[in-house]
Structure 1
Amino acid sequence: MLKYRNILVFIDVDQESQPALERAVSIAEKEKGAKITLFLCCYDLTFEMTSLSSADEREAMQRIVIKENKEWLKSIAAPFTEQGLDIHCQVRWHNRPFQAAIIEVLKNNHDLLVKATHQHSKLSAILFTPTDWNLLRKCPVPVLLVKNHLWPKQGNILCAIDCKSIQDDEHHQLNQQILKEAAVMAEIVNANIHIVNAYPSPPMNIMLELPEFDPINYEDGLKKFHQKTLNDYAQTLNLPKEQVHLAQGLPEDVISEVAEKIDAELVILGTVGRSGLSATLLGHTAEQVIDNLNCDLLALKPAGFISPITL
Structure 2
Amino acid sequence: MMDYQKLLVVVDPTTDKQAALARAVELASESQAQITVFLSIFDFSYEMTSILSGQEREAMREGVINQRKAWLEDIVKPYAKDGVVINLEVVWHNRPFESIIKYAIDNQFDLIVKGTHEHDKLKSVIFTPTDWHLMRKAPIPVLLVKEHDWPVAGKIVCAVNVSAEDEANESLNGKIVAHALKLAKQFDAQVHLVNGYPGTPVNLAIELPDFDSHTYSETIRLQHEERINYLANAYGIPVENCHVKEGLPEDVIPDLAMQLDAELVILGTIGRTGLSAALIGNTAEHVIDSINCDLLAIKPDGYKSPLEEL
TM-score normalised over the length of structure 1: 0.93
**Alignment partners' CA distance in 1, 2:185 and 2:75:** 28
1:50 is aligned to 2:73:
no
- AA aligned opposite 1:29: S
What's the CA shift for 1:239?
2.1
**Alignment partners' CA distance in 2, 1:118 and 1:288:** 17
**Alignment partners' CA distance in 2, 1:283 and 1:17:** 32
- AA aligned opposite 1:294: N
Aligned twin of 1:83? 82
Deviations 1:233-253 (A, max 9, x none): 111222223311111111011
The equivalent position to 1:184 in structure 2, one of 182, 185, 195, is 182
Aligned twin of 1:101? 100
User: Is the Cα contact below 8 Å between 1:119 and 1:291 reproduced in 2?
Assistant: no
SS in 1 for 2:86: strand
Aligned twin of 1:201? 199
**Alignment partners' CA distance in 1, 2:201 and 2:117:** 34
User: Is the Cα contact below 8 Å between 1:31 and 1:188 reproduced in 2?
Assistant: no
> CA 1:40–1:181 in structure 2 vs 1: closer, same or farther (change >3 Å)?
same
- Consecutive unaligned residues of structure 2, counting only runs of 5 or more, are 120-126
Identity of aligned residues (%): 48
Aligned twin of 2:63? 64
User: Is the Cα contact below 8 Å between 1:129 and 1:280 reproduced in 2?
Assistant: no
User: Is the Cα contact below 8 Å between 1:138 and 1:273 reproduced in 2?
Assistant: yes
- AA aligned opposite 2:27: I
What's the CA shift for 1:117?
1.1
**Alignment partners' CA distance in 2, 1:281 and 1:49:** 37
User: Is the Cα contact below 8 Å between 2:2 and 2:110 reproduced in 1?
Assistant: no
What's the CA shift for 1:73?
1.2
SS in 2 for 1:104: helix
Aligned twin of 2:234? 236
Deviations 1:264-290 (A, max 9, x none): 010001001111244346631111111
> CA 1:60–1:149 in structure 2 vs 1: closer, same or farther (change >3 Å)?
same
**Superposition pairs of residues 245-260 of structure 1, within 5 angstroms:** 245-260=243-258
Aligned twin of 1:20? 20
**Alignment partners' CA distance in 1, 2:250 and 2:296:** 15
**Alignment partners' CA distance in 2, 1:55 and 1:205:** 66
What's the CA shift for 1:84?
2.3
1:8 is aligned to 2:34:
no
**Alignment partners' CA distance in 2, 1:84 and 1:188:** 18
What's the CA shift for 1:212?
3.4
RMSD of aligned residue pairs (Cα, Å): 1.7
Equivalenced residue count is: 302
Using the TM superposition, name which of 247-256 and 77-86 deviates more: 77-86
User: Is the Cα contact below 8 Å between 2:159 and 2:195 reproduced in 1?
Assistant: yes
- AA aligned opposite 2:182: V
What's the CA shift for 1:258?
0.5
**Alignment partners' CA distance in 2, 1:28 and 1:129:** 26
Aligned twin of 1:130? 129
SS in 1 for 2:190: strand
**Alignment partners' CA distance in 2, 1:137 and 1:84:** 33
